[in-house]
Structure formats: structure tokens, C-alpha cells
Amino acid sequence: MADIANEVSQRPLLDLTTGFMRFKTFSAAVELEVFTRLANGREVTAEEFAAETDLQQRPADVLLPALVALDLLEKNGEVYRNSPVAEEFLVKDRPHFFGGFVQFYDRALYPGWEQLVNSLRTNRSMFVDPEKQETVFAPNDFMMNFFWEAMHSLAGYTGKALGEVYDFGAHHRLLDVGGGSGGIPIELCRRVPSLTAGVYELPHVCPVIERKIGEAGLGEVISALPGDFNTDEVLPGGYDVMLLSQVMHCGDEEANRALLDKCFAALQPGGAVLICELLLNSDRTGPANAAVMGLNMLVSHAGGQNYSEAEYRDWLSDAGFVDIDVVRFDAAGADGAVVGRKPAWKSSRAAGGEHDRSRDHR
């Protein structure tokens, strides 16, 4: 008789198949503001929950156990309350509110993913018509009012996690290249009072940055710097640390190598660059979050994918960076940063020439 315990199970396939149900349950609860309604330890019965969310009793009775099963709510006797993760990240106006990110995926990315097979067959984004716009980041009402807000909370928590494993106190001036709404510099400058920062972003995003740094009370510490790292020949200079957070996955190898060359040229001698991403392992077999995010780049961008630590190491080395290392942390948007340092001696490219790589790698 076959050993049933060792037989292959259909369970992993079922979990994959029903994954969308979990997400849609989650996003529905965010839209209904379930977790904000139950903030600060508030407890409700199923009947009170139905009245609070303006649902009939049957929908409330099927939603509640689903949210408990997903570890978003807890049940104690006949009452329900937020789980710790919901209380921390899913209550509006909390510092690292994740709900906007959930709604962005629900309203923007989810429909695009329905066209994944078309993206695979055509190697084209389902979000960008190249005849109408060059990038998904072009200004429009949705991007300005929704996307940057969604990314802000993700960036802030990434900055918190990164600041716990990398010593930004060793630096004085940070340039966040393609830094979105400035979430990471806001977190880092709060953590390190001696640090100042510039957020180098597309001109139409700079008002968002200025509003966010003003709300954080850091208008004298952080500046918005308009530009486009894809088309500008040089990056702003005078910085001793540069951050590329969730930027490199948007570009192909040629574009990413060109960007690292610009970083090397602009960075102060002895300074560091950090590539902050969901990192694929060296044989490109996972982890799952990094691998699947690569498909998200296919669906949403004209170029780009997720890359491995080994690829980033090679690109940094070829650009002239030395002492390359990786720091690991746990955040939704990234799980590590590949760090490279510019040699302390002057080895930047002269106009039209190459820097002395023999000295960089001695």
C-alpha cells in the first residue's frame, strides 16, 4: 500500500488558486475601513459590526470569520477586535498605514494582472501605451492622488528597517535617487538628526515631496530636487551617500549600469551607494516575493525585472565601487540593500574618459 503521508498533495495548488480570494477579502475590509473603525482596542459583536459597516447581517457574518482566519481580526468570546498587525498598519493616519498600498494594488495593478498572458506573449506592459506615454510614472490624476500616497507608507517603513541595519550616522548628506514622496529620507533624518537629504524626483512629483516633508516638520532638513535620472547627464553632487530604493527593478541592465555610472561620478570620494530591493537569490529561484515582483514589472513597466544580489554586485564593481556588501532586513518593499563604496581616492571619470579601474580593484 502506498504511503499516503508521502504522496504529493493538491493543497499547495489550492492555496495558489484561491490566493486572489484572500487578497480581495483583505482589500474589501480596507475599503470598508474595518480596521480604522476598531482602532485603539475597540471590540464589537457581529451585530454591532454589521451596523458599524452598514452591512446586512449575512455579509457581516461571513466576512468576520474570514478576517479572523487571515489574522487581521481576533475573536474573544462573542466580540471581535483588531489583530496586532491590523492595529499597527491598517488604521488610517498611523505613521506606516498600509491601506493605501492595498487599494493601489486592488484598483490599479489587479486589473492589469488579468492581462499577464498578453504581457508574457508580447513582452509589453499592460499599463503603458508607448505611442502615448513613455513611462507609467507620467503625471495624471490617479498617480498624483493615489500612487504616491500608497508608496509613501511603504517607503517609510522600509526606511525604518534599513536604518536599523545600516549606520547612516556615518554620513552627512543623503541623495535619494527616484525617491518618490520622500518617505525613506523622512524616516532616516528623524533617526539621525545630523543627516540632511535631497529627494531627486520628476518635477511633477516635487510638490508631493514638499508637502510630505512639510507635514513631517523637516522642510529645513530635506529638499526636493527636480530631475530625471534616465535623461539627465549628471546627478546632483555633494552627497556622501546615495539611495536607489525600488528603482533598479524598473530598468533593464543597460539603464541600470548607466545609472550606477552616474552615481559613481556624482558621489563624494569615500561615499556609499545602497541598492534597496527585493533581492533574488543567486540562482534566481526565489524568494517568491522577489520572483513574482519581477512579473509585476513586466505587466506594469516597459522594461525592468527583479535582479539578484550577484547581478547588483557585478554592476557595482564594473562601475568602480568597492567593498561591496549586503545588509538584510525585513520590510514589505525590500528585504536587503546591496552596498558599494566609492574609493576615497579621486577616481571619477574625467570628461570623455574612464576612471582608473586598476586602482579601484587593487
The string of DSSP letters for 50-100 reads HHHHT--HHHHHHHHHHHHHTTSEEEETTEEEE-HHHHHHSSTTSTT--HH
pLDDT for position 150: 75
Q: For residue 352, what pLDDT is reported?
A: 36
Q: What is the mean pLDDT of residues 133-138?
A: 51
DSSP helix/strand/coil, 242 = strand
- pLDDT score of 153: 79
pLDDT in tens, 62-76: 999 999 999 999 999
State how far the Cα of 159 lies from the Cα of 144, in Å rounded to an integer: 22
22 vs 53: CA distance, rounded Å: 20
Residue 140 has pLDDT above 80, yes or no: no
| C-alpha cell at position 33 | 475601513
Identify the three-state secondary structure at position 247: coil
Integer Cα distance of 226 and 207 in angstroms = 10
- Does the pLDDT of residue 5 top 70, yes or no? no
Name the pLDDT band for 96 (thresholds 50, 70, 90). confident
Whether the per-residue pLDDT at 107 is higher than 50: the answer is yes
**Catalytic residue from among 152, 249, 301, 355:** 249
pLDDT, average across residues 281-286: 91
Q: What pLDDT is recorded for position 154?
A: 85
Reported confidence tier of residue 357, pLDDT bands at 50, 70, 90? very low
**Tens digits of residue pLDDT in 257-269:** 999 999 999 999 9
Interior/surface letters 130-156, b for 16+ CB within 10 angstroms, e for the rest: eeeeebbbeeeeebeebbbbbbbbbbb
Buried b (16+ CB within 10 A) or exposed e, 50-85: bebbebeeeebeebbebbeeeebbbeeeeebbbbee
Q: If you average pLDDT over residues 204-216, what whole number do you get?
A: 93
152 given a catalytic annotation = no
Q: How many CB atoms lie within 10 A of CB 259?
A: 23
Going by their DSSP bridges, the two strands 196-201 and 241-245 should be labelled as unpaired
Confidence category of residue 213, pLDDT binned at 50, 70, 90: very high
The alpha helices in 107-205, defined as continuous H runs, are: 110-113, 116-122, 141-142, 148-165, 183-191
* Residue 324 CB contacts under 8 Å (≥ 6 apart), including other chains: 313, 316, 317, 338, 339, 340, 341
Judged by average pLDDT, the poorest of 120-134, 316-330, 343-357 is 343-357
Give the per-residue pLDDT at 361.
32
What does the alpha-carbon distance between residue 147 and residue 144 come to, in Å, rounded to a whole number? Answer: 6
Q: For the chain, state the CA radius of gyration.
A: 23
d(Cα 239, Cα 48) in Å, to the nearest integer? Answer: 55
Write down the mean pLDDT value for the chain. 89
pLDDT, greater one: 360 or 131: 131
